[in-house]
Structure 1
Amino acid sequence: MASLVVLERHLWLTLTDIKDAERTRFLDALVSSTGLFGPAVKGFSERYSEAQKASQVMRHFLPKRSSSGSSAHKRAPSTPRPTKPAKQASQPSPAADAQRQPRANKRFPFPQRQGPRPSAAPHSAHPLRFKNPDSLAGSELVPQGGTGDSSQSKTRISFSFSFVEILRISQHNHEDKFQVTFYEERNFQGRSYECTGDSGDFSSYLSHCHSCRVHSGCWMMYDYPNFMGNQYFFRRGEYADCMSMFGMSNCIRSCRMISMHRGSYRMRIYERENFMGQMYEMMDDCENIMDRYRMSHCQSCHVMDGHWLMYEQPHYRGKMSYFSPGEYRNFSNMDGMKFMSMRRIMDSWY
């Protein structure tokens, strides 16, 4: 965390036009939980305001330059000098041109700036204004400029979040993305076990599981350890009696989270093993492959995009199986199941 704070301070200071002495004070400031620079921001704002007020006071004591005095000291007209006859033009040599070049061009062989120099913006007494000085969140810096709305007279830089805050928010959202709580008894009673990832066997935490709350994410539950046995799909919601709701003969023993997929869905189903026989490519849900493709069953598939659920009966009934992207050459290894309907796991379910 200390390295992130130092990195964020360097990033903020590179956007400003602060002197090296002031930068050292910001970098050496103690790390505070209230903000990135802590009380150093308040002290710098106060010093900046005092310096602006002092400069305004000094302007009242400085004499103003009079425009009439310059017109009084005019040069007298000089007598014209006799002109010399023009010499015959000759082709200058390269060596002579090199000697005539000014010394600045020899030291700095860079192209000179063309056109008039930009005029500096008028000095302003506006101090640094912060909506939240402690964290610099939603800040508005007005280091120079007047009251006009042009970009040359007023410079504004607005920020919504700092780097450390964005990192903390993204980490918090990532941790809360998948979470489920299991309970021993029905109606969320008895001992509980909170899970945020795959769990091959949580029998050491609970003797049995009859209810659960899925706070976020989509999960596949298994009635045997190590992701074996019958599969059950759980999405966000409350399940007061899992066994009666899904017709389980055994309670949940292991679980696996399903990562979110955003994009297109593609899957090819085959009538026979090893991708043989009739082939159809699917991109949406199918309630009955017999009605749509005139297939009695499918024995292999190739999931190219997305996550899918396949059911042994039409209209998404019966036993189910979860299929992630990959090749599945033979369904006979899965207890001889024959699938008749398929559906996609949508990102809106998370």
Structure 2
Amino acid sequence: MNRVNSVGVESGAWVCFDPPDFRGQRFILERGNYPDFFHWNAHNDHMGSRRPVGMHGEHFCLEIFEGCNFTGQCLELQDDCPFLQSRGWTDCVNAVKVYGDGAWDLYEEPNYHGRMYLVERGDFRSFADWEAHSARVQSLRSVVNFF
């Protein structure tokens, strides 16, 4: 089944993808009801693959870097940030380190809008590692998952 008209998430958070191979257009569904695909910011009713998002441990954070391979200016975040420029950051994030068992959504536009990319625990040396089209990131937030 790859067409979905509505979704109810009883617990946890799920990263869902349009195609069946965990690539392409992605969106996060957290606890709640989604009566149609517009409510989960999808462009159509296709949901070809999905998986649970990693759970947060007691300590989780993320470091963003101005340059590839963890070079240049660095900023550590433990809380959501609706506008990175308000913290003195440019709109370029070329590398990311995610600590703990958490996951973070990176958005191309302020206030959690635009293309969204999910990064989970690990090192991302370049924006290509999280399958972004560019290094543009203007807001980010943690994905909370309780199972």
TM-score exceeds 0.5: yes
Return the structure number with greater helix share.
1
Q: Give TM class, smaller chain.
A: 0.7 to 0.9
Taking the TM superposition and a 5 Å limit, the aligned residue runs for 1:1-350 are: 206=1, 208-242=3-37, 244-245=38-39, 246-249=41-44, 251-305=46-100, 306-333=102-129, 334-337=131-134, 338-347=136-145
Corresponding residue SS for 1:284? coil
* Greater radius of gyration (CA): 1
The alpha carbon displacement at 1:231 in A equals 1.0
Answer whether contact 2:2 2:48 (CA < 8 A) is retained.
no
The alpha carbon displacement at 1:332 in A equals 3.3
Runs of 4+ in 1 over 3 A off after TM superposition: none
The alpha carbon displacement at 1:220 in A equals 0.4
Separation in 1 of the partners of 2:128 and 2:56? 28
CA shift in 2, pair 1:224/1:207, >3 Å? closer
Separation in 1 of the partners of 2:71 and 2:138? 17
The code of the aligned residue for 2:116 comes to: M
The code of the aligned residue for 2:133 comes to: G
Answer whether contact 1:314 1:341 (CA < 8 A) is retained.
yes
Separation in 2 of the partners of 1:294 and 1:207? 39
Number of residues of Structure 1 aligned to a counterpart in Structure 2: 143
The code of the aligned residue for 2:82 comes to: E
Answer whether contact 1:289 1:297 (CA < 8 A) is retained.
no
**Residue aligning to 1:8:** none
Corresponding residue SS for 1:320? strand
Answer whether contact 2:3 2:45 (CA < 8 A) is retained.
no
Deviations 1:180-214 (A, max 9, x none): xxxxxxxxxxxxxxxxxxxxxxxxxx252221111
The code of the aligned residue for 2:115 comes to: K
Answer whether contact 2:6 2:36 (CA < 8 A) is retained.
yes
Deviations 1:118-150 (A, max 9, x none): xxxxxxxxxxxxxxxxxxxxxxxxxxxxxxxxx
- The unaligned stretches of length 5 or more in structure 2 are none
The alpha carbon displacement at 1:346 in A equals 2.6
Answer whether contact 1:274 1:300 (CA < 8 A) is retained.
yes
The code of the aligned residue for 2:140 comes to: M
CA shift in 2, pair 1:299/1:212, >3 Å? same
TM-score (norm 2): 0.87
Separation in 2 of the partners of 1:207 and 1:292? 41
Answer whether contact 2:91 2:137 (CA < 8 A) is retained.
no
Higher relative contact order (CA 8 A, sep 6+): 2
- The unaligned stretches of length 5 or more in structure 1 are 1-205
The alpha carbon displacement at 1:247 in A equals 4.1
Return the structure number with greater strand share.
2
CA RMSD of aligned residues (A): 1.8
Separation in 1 of the partners of 2:121 and 2:84? 20
CA shift in 2, pair 1:332/1:258, >3 Å? closer
Deviations 1:75-102 (A, max 9, x none): xxxxxxxxxxxxxxxxxxxxxxxxxxxx
TM-score (norm 1): 0.39
Q: Which stretch shows the higher mean deviation, 217-226 or 259-268?
A: 259-268
CA shift in 2, pair 1:265/1:288, >3 Å? same
Answer whether contact 1:265 1:284 (CA < 8 A) is retained.
no
Separation in 2 of the partners of 1:272 and 1:249? 35
Answer whether contact 1:311 1:341 (CA < 8 A) is retained.
yes
